[in-house]
Amino acid sequence: GGTTEVAVWHNRALVHSAVLPYGGDHLTHDIATSLRTPRKEAERIKILHGCALSSLVDDDEKINVACVGGRTPTERPRTLLCDIIEPRLEEVFRLVEREVQVSNFADLVGGFVVTGGTALMQGITELGEDVLNQPVRVGKPHPNAKGVIGVGNGTGMTGGLSGLYDIVKAPSYSTAVGLLQLGAAEEPSQPKRGWWSITWIERLKGYMSN
């Protein structure tokens, strides 16, 4: 995406949030510009070969980069790609650190969780720990999300769809699934009838009352 969202939680409550104007799209743009490759190719390279920490990459590793205008692809050192990515992500982590300081909860921070597509990149946690001096891990939807991502049968959300969970268990969906789980946890426990279980008379009464 084009932004990075920062959320500080304390005692299960959101105490500070911010949106930084930097995200994975900016990485793609940097790669496309620096390597002089089409944006689509830059996205592919970022996903397949991107690394947030150049020290994790061997100097002799090479990647093939398509050129603009359909010219013959060129071979570039993978470390060159890392040299493009690392400064941008370091900048983002510095901004995250600043937001945590602004929240006045910096002294209570026990670690950081990164989510989203860029969280899948090699070296992201190592770079984060170097910059933030705190433990950093990649957040993934908890297996209990299967109970949240389900189908209605007239009594509310029930049972999980394992096939759907297999799709949304990636870090890219961590925030969305986490919000679903939080909402489900705070939902009253009494059964609720789904819209499809209400008779047409009740629907009409509901419509008229509105």
pTM of the model: 0.71
Cα–Cα separations (whole angstroms), residue 12 to 44, 141, 158: 37, 16, 24
CA distance 61 to 49: 10
Contact 42, 32 (CB under 8 A): yes
DSSP 8-state class, residue 66: P
Domains recognised in the chain with CATH numbers: 4-138 (3.30.420.40), 142-210 (no CATH)
**Percent of the chain at pLDDT exceeding 90:** 50
pLDDT, tens only, 165-208: 555 555 545 555 455 555 555 555 555 444 444 443 444 444 44
pLDDT, tens only, 46-73: 999 999 999 999 999 999 999 888 788 9
Cα–Cα separations (whole angstroms), residue 107 to 1, 20, 97, 104: 30, 22, 12, 8
Contact 148, 181 (CB under 8 A): yes
If you count them, how many residues does the chain have? 210
